[in-house]
Amino acid sequence: MQTINQMKLEFLSVAENESFARVAVSAFAVQLDPTLDVLADIKTAVSEAVTNAIVHGYADGPGIVTVSAKLSDDGILDISVADQGRGIPDIQKAMQPFFTTQPEKERSGMGFSVMQTFMDRVKVESCPGEGTTVRMQKRLRERK
């Protein structure tokens, strides 16, 4: 597997940048000619990951969200969404459907479940006080 292209974005953790991130990553993925349904899946997963970074990672104040993507010659899109925010004390618990740390704000607790539904692979790495990185993969075309 060889990287054929890659990109990286850094932006302030404000809600208005969530749509920017999802459109940028889907526009980047277009070069492998995915279907519209696959592009919608990518947009949804990126939207959830970026929203989690903004809402949970930087709940105490603004910070930088980094989104990177890599395309490989075997048709795989790798996406990483990272923050240097609060981190997640218990990743397994956080990934359970309906778990939320902000029930008073009417959060559904479905962000990670949505990412897992729309992507082929989701891995979360986090350290309390140091931040969180969500890595996702999606196959954009079949192997030749």
10 among known catalytic residues: no
Handedness of CA 8, 10, 14, 16 (dihedral sign): negative
Give tens-digit pLDDT for 68-125: 999 999 999 999 999 999 988 766 766 665 555 555 555 555 677 788 889 999 999 9
Are the C-beta atoms of residues 49 and 131 closer than 8 Å to each other? Answer: no
Angle among Cα 103, 107, 111 to the nearest 5 degrees reads 130
pLDDT of 144: 52
User: How many CB atoms within 10 Å of residue 2?
Assistant: 6
* CA–CA gap between residue 124 and residue 130 (Å, rounded): 13
Whether this model's pTM surpasses 0.75: yes
Taking a C-beta distance cutoff of 8 angstroms, is the pair 72, 51 a contact? no
Question: Looking at 17, 22, 52, 86, which residue is catalytic?
Answer: 52
pLDDT of residue 89: 75
Q: Alpha-carbon distance 51 to 65, whole Å? A: 10
Question: Is 52 part of the annotated catalytic residue set?
Answer: yes
